Amino acid sequence: MRRSLVISLVLCAAGTGYARKSLSMRNDAASLDRAELARPEESELSRAPQVNQPFKWRPQPFRPWLAGASVAVDARRGEVFVADTDNGTLAISDATGAHVLRVVPVGAAPEQVVVGPDGRAFVSVRNAGEVVVVAPGATQVALRTHMGGEPFGLALAADGKTLYVSLVGTSQGGQVLALEAATLAEKFRVDVDADPRGIVTTPDGDKLFVAHLIGTSVSVIDLERRAVRRVQLPGATVGRFDRLTHQSGRVPNLTFALAVSPSGRRLYVPHALEDTGQNVAPEVRSGGYGAGAFEPIVATLTAIDADAEEVLGDDQNVTSRAGRSFTLRGLSQPRAAIVDPVRSRLFVAGLGSDDVRVLNAAHKDPVFANALPSIFLGAGNGPKGLAISADGERLYVHASLKHQLIVVDVRELRGGAQPARSVMARLTIGDERLPAAAVHGRALFFSSQDGRISANGQFACASCHPEGKQDGMTWRLDKGPRQTPVLAGRLVGTAPYNWLGSRGSLKDNMKETMGRLGGRGLPAKDLDDLELYLTQYLDGGPQTQPVRTAMQERGKHLFESDEVGCAHCHAPGTRFTDGKNHDIGTTTSEEVSRLLAEQGKPVPAVAPLTPAALLREGLTALSTTQLLRMLGGRMAPPDDEVQRGVLLAASTVSPNPFLAQQLGGMNSFGGFEGGRFGGGSFAMGRPSVGRSKPKKTDGKLRLAYNTPSLEGVAHTAPYFHDGSARTLKDVITIGNPGDRMGRTSQLPAADVDALVSYLETL
């Protein structure tokens, strides 16, 4: 009873702390708005900005082709172009969105479009590996060029003479190509980091900025020297409140789009901040993602001085960015951004939250300015692209999940977050090709507004699996570190599911995932629809088989040979997986300690918790999505199937002391085991250990992990369940001690390179 009283006091104190924190953050944000308003730059602003009010830019030529999107405008001809990915078409409407003027078939999966000063439209056709040109008024493609890989982002030089294309999926990782706009002849290529997405060029033509789906920086290409530099995006470090809730700091990631101010002086970069829990003490238990971090994924926006290539905003902003970015709170999967050419307004579209946020670009760090009225488009629209008229009065939104062009009157946005009166037109620009069940499954996959999938509707499946792929992260879960797997094209014929192979069906695995997200769970029909979309309609990208080089053929021979033995578990014709669990020596000491705790094995004594530490543990529990499920009377999914992945090679092992607080019987709270729901257990003690990174165990108690498919393996880094191998070469060399995963230790360097080269073709 005494213990229950202490716990109740902790929870009450925690709730008060959160209220005080929220009030403090609002006051701090308001003071930032007043104190940190950017000084007007004579080259960009026509008058000094007023606090929290948009101002007018100095007049600049309207050049919307400096950056591509899935929608573009041709101001001279009064037309709007939309790249309809699912239908493989370019749809052209009038400027009011009243009529579709013509539809041009362009190929499989068009992604972005730009319209040059001469009226020609350039389209990146992703699955065809092509860029095509559509002449003014035409109903068919006039010119096309094949370039390999997946062309994604487009940008035209200010004079319209050079087209820049970002290329995904090359053997070099990522590239940007420069093409002659008149002929599409290649001028040069520049290697950049992997997964390039949106690109934008500056009006003076000396730089090109590149966004990356995975990574912590924006690439800057010096077009004269053809040299690549990087601008590091700010993360969010651990502040005093964050430390109390076991947050470990947030990593910038998932950048799709860039926007540039009319003068080219400022660059705006919407992206995600992710707290994977990687720096949280390993003894902290949580059934949720990020070791119980509050809102593991949040959206933010970074403003960059394009001339100096430096982030705008001071260190205090960077430190508290995740907790105080109120202007983007609740925005999910930012996919597009555009700057008003007349007033200092910045528009950011959230694919998963079905809205467009309006930020004040007068502030040097717009996420800390008071928010302007946002535009909610309605559930299931999936805004993917933005364009704006030359006078800044009409915003064009590509609602990709509805195959619609939405025209919004943005002359004066007033009132709340649902200005339905501002929507001037909704124009259907293509047919829906999926069956109704798959359409519903697609909406479930991308929407972040469904409390059945995540607590309070914070996240979507696509939050960690953008484009059906993966975020490149390794998340801390209750069983240990788990790297995000790719879904698109890798689900059929690859059962069982998850790294421990503990779920024989995809639907059972989805239920477990939604439990970790704090969701209530979907009914059977919705699970059927989601499974249908994931397995049959989620686009896996280009399906062409490459012509292998002699080096790659050598790698194929090695892969399939008995001498190396890779095909014993990854046989061709079986989706490159045997569907079995194997101990390959990658179990971490943290995972061993968790397993020992579950089995009640002896562990070192724990140090008593101080009052401050007890408060911290209570706050941690409040910060987890799992607690929300507990308070709602919903239990977390059972873990009894985890033993499928366990190898008990010996009855004794020298344990690492991590997670010993789970030992000796878990304390109850409201009839539930504390360790099941909270980021920290309610046990009255915990190990006195440091926060060093877990190392691989050399004991004999290990976990066996499910064999992953190797299809598309070149684009699934990092590797292993804990993301410990950054490259395929690391997997073969330093990631295979003792030849547990095929015999590769005897291979000379040339054969290792050949094997890696072959794997990149799968």
Residue predicted with more confidence, 545 or 454: 454
Q: Which residue has the tokens 């989620």?
A: 538
Query: Tell me, what's the pLDDT at 682?
Result: 26
Flag whether pLDDT at 740 surpasses 90: no
Rounded average pLDDT over 521-548:
88
Flag whether pLDDT at 529 surpasses 70: yes
Residue 509, φ and ψ in degrees, nearest 5? -70, -35
pLDDT, tens digit, 9 for 90 and up, residues 81-99: 999 999 999 999 999 999 9
What is the rounded CA–CA span in Å between residue 516 and residue 292? 10
Helix (H, G, I), strand (E, B) or coil at 46: coil
User: Can you identify the CATH homologous superfamily of domain 434-542?
Assistant: Cytochrome c-like domain (1.10.760.10)
Q: How confident is the model at residue 295 (pLDDT cuts 50, 70, 90)?
A: confident
Please name the helix (run of DSSP H) or strand (run of DSSP E) that holds residue 240, with its range, or none. helix 240-244
Query: Tell me, what's the pLDDT at 57?
Result: 84
Residue 206, φ and ψ in degrees, nearest 5? -95, -15
Peptide bond into 718 cis (omega under 30): yes
Query: Tell me, what's the pLDDT at 262?
Result: 94
Q: Which percentage of the chain shows pLDDT scores above 70?
A: 72
Q: Chain centroid to CA 578: how far?
A: 29
Please name the helix (run of DSSP H) or strand (run of DSSP E) that holds residue 686, with its range, or none. strand 685-686
Residue 236, φ and ψ in degrees, nearest 5? -130, 115
Domain boundaries, the chain: 2-21+586-701, 36-433, 434-542
State how beta strands 480-483 and 701-703 pair.
unpaired
Q: Which residue has the tokens 């190929």?
A: 107
Report long-range pairs for 420-426 (Cβ below 8 Å, ≥24 apart).
Answer: 422/375, 423/377, 424/96, 424/97, 424/394, 425/96, 425/97, 425/98, 426/97, 426/399
- Of the candidate ranges 549-553, 595-599, 689-693, the one whose mean pLDDT is the lowest: 689-693
Flag whether pLDDT at 3 surpasses 70: no
pLDDT, tens digit, 9 for 90 and up, residues 354-412: 999 999 998 888 888 877 888 999 999 999 999 999 999 999 999 999 999 999 999 88
Query: Tell me, what's the pLDDT at 22?
Result: 36
Query: Residue 145: what residue type?
Result: T
Query: Tell me, what's the pLDDT at 605?
Result: 41
Query: Tell me, what's the pLDDT at 277?
Result: 82
Domain 36-433 has CATH 2.130.10.10: yes
Residue predicted with more confidence, 41 or 192: 192
Q: How confident is the model at residue 283 (pLDDT cuts 50, 70, 90)?
A: low
pLDDT, tens digit, 9 for 90 and up, residues 102-130: 999 999 999 999 999 999 999 999 999 99
Residue 419: closest CA among 466, 357, 370: 357
Residue 265: closest CA among 199, 202, 207: 202
What is the rounded CA–CA span in Å between residue 713 and residue 706? 15
Query: Residue 13: what residue type?
Result: A
Flag whether pLDDT at 599 surpasses 80: no
Query: Which residues, at least 6 apart from 612, have a Cβ–Cβ distance to it below 8 Å?
Result: none
Query: Which residues, at least 6 apart from 510, have a Cβ–Cβ distance to it below 8 Å?
Result: 522, 527, 530, 531
Query: Tell me, what's the pLDDT at 329?
Result: 84
Helix (H, G, I), strand (E, B) or coil at 125: strand
Q: Which percentage of the chain shows pLDDT scores above 90?
A: 49
- Which DSSP category does 341 fall into? S
Residue 83: closest CA among 156, 132, 145, 149: 132
| pLDDT, averaged across the chain | 78
What is the rounded CA–CA span in Å between residue 99 and residue 426? 10
Token pair listed for 680: 């920290």
Helix (H, G, I), strand (E, B) or coil at 409: strand
Query: Tell me, what's the pLDDT at 457?
Result: 72
Query: Which residues, at least 6 apart from 197, have a Cβ–Cβ distance to it below 8 Å?
Result: 152, 153, 166, 168, 210, 211, 212, 213, 255, 256, 257
Give the pTM. 0.82
pLDDT, tens digit, 9 for 90 and up, residues 609-651: 455 555 554 544 444 434 443 333 333 333 333 333 333 332 2
Rounded average pLDDT over 270-278:
89
- Which DSSP category does 431 fall into? -
